[in-house]
Amino acid sequence: MKDFDLSVYLVTDRHCLRGRDFYAAIEEALQAGVTLLQLREKDASFDELLEEGRKVQALCRKYHVPFLIDDNVDVAKALDADGVHLGQEDEAIEKAQAALGRDKIIGISAHNIEEAVEAQRKGADYLGVGALYPTGSKKDASVLAPGVFRQVVEAVQIPVVGIGGIHEAQYGDVLDQGAAGCAMISGILGADDITATVKRLKALAVQHKQKG
């Protein structure tokens, strides 16, 4: 069983930093208790991703937090990252397993029950399901109809993470729908106080576990 905690899942985006230094903001979030990190820099070239990835990976290792790459299996392989998060492309899971090995974490984005069940069948380790709320990080993301998220959670045995426009105010509601955690971008990196926000999210996650 792969060992990872999805409860406070940070996805990077340098456009959310509000003037902060990219690496300093990431380190602050890791130090405060982020449980998993995905490097997601859509505008970066292969070489830029490698360079950024090395620095972010070093920070993740310092705080013993799994380090994933968004979409780019080649970069994940070059860095020996802990895993990848992939979209719905054909054979995405099989290609990632072949390139990275089956010990790496593979997350898949899903938008309905069919996609979720199929990703589980192919060996995904977790699902990112959304968008749950309007989001600026993915212009073409459509918000799920009410009830769909819970239906997906109930249809699979692997953990499901809420994605899309989630901030601290929505975090508890998403956990109440059966989520193992929430993937957050501006909700963490754009927060007034990154440390305090992450600590509050961690406390909410602990409370939820005790309740459940």
Catalytic residues: 40, 109, 138
DSSP letter, residue 109: E
d(CA 33, CA 121): 32
Instruction: List the one residue out of 122, 39, 149 whose CA is nearest residue 85.
Output: 39
Burial of 115 (0-12, 13-18, 19+ CB in 10 A): middle
Q: Which amino acid is at 97?
A: Q
d(CA 184, CA 175): 13
Which residue reads 């950024």 in tokens? 52
Instruction: Report angle CA 170, 123, 88 to the nearest 5 degrees.
Output: 60
- 46-62 and 22-32 are packed helices; what angle lies between their axes, rounded to 10 degrees? 30
